[in-house]
């Protein structure tokens, strides 16, 4: 899940920068609100999948759900035999 969250954060920052670049006259309050909105959206979108993947994790056992998540999001082709973080 760390890789998924890192990927989401990269995308969030890139898209926020693009949006803010299109609003050169936006004041600090608007910029702060857009930052908060983007963080909030990412957190809300990843909350449920993260909780479900962690619930399915068994220490020392490969998690097939985590493998599927890695495949779906193009995070890694390696199978990770460690608990989700």
Q: Is 60 left (phi over 0), alpha (psi -120 to 50) or beta?
A: left
pLDDT for 30-50, tens place per residue? 999 999 999 999 999 999 988
CB atoms near residue 4 (< 10 Å) = 19
Q: In terms of DSSP H, where are the helices of the chain?
A: 2-21, 28-56, 64-73
Look up tokens 């199978």; give the residue.
Answer: 79
Contact 9, 42 (CB under 8 A): yes
pLDDT for 43-79, tens place per residue? 999 999 888 888 887 887 777 888 888 888 888 754 4
Contact 52, 65 (CB under 8 A): yes
C-alpha to C-alpha distance for 17 and 56, rounded to whole angstroms:
35
Contact 75, 8 (CB under 8 A): no
What's the average model confidence in pLDDT over 2-29? 94
């Amino acid at each position: 899940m760390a890789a998924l969250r890192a990927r989401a954060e990269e995308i969030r920052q890139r898209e926020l920068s693009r949006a803010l670049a299109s609003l050169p006259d936006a004041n600090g309050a608007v910029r702060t609100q857009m930052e908060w909105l983007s963080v909030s959206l990412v957190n809300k979108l990843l909350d449920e999948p993260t909780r479900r993947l962690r619930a399915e994790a068994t220490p020392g056992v490969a998690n097939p759900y985590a493998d599927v998540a890695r495949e779906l999001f193009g995070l890694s082709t390696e199978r990770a035999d460690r608990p989700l973080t």
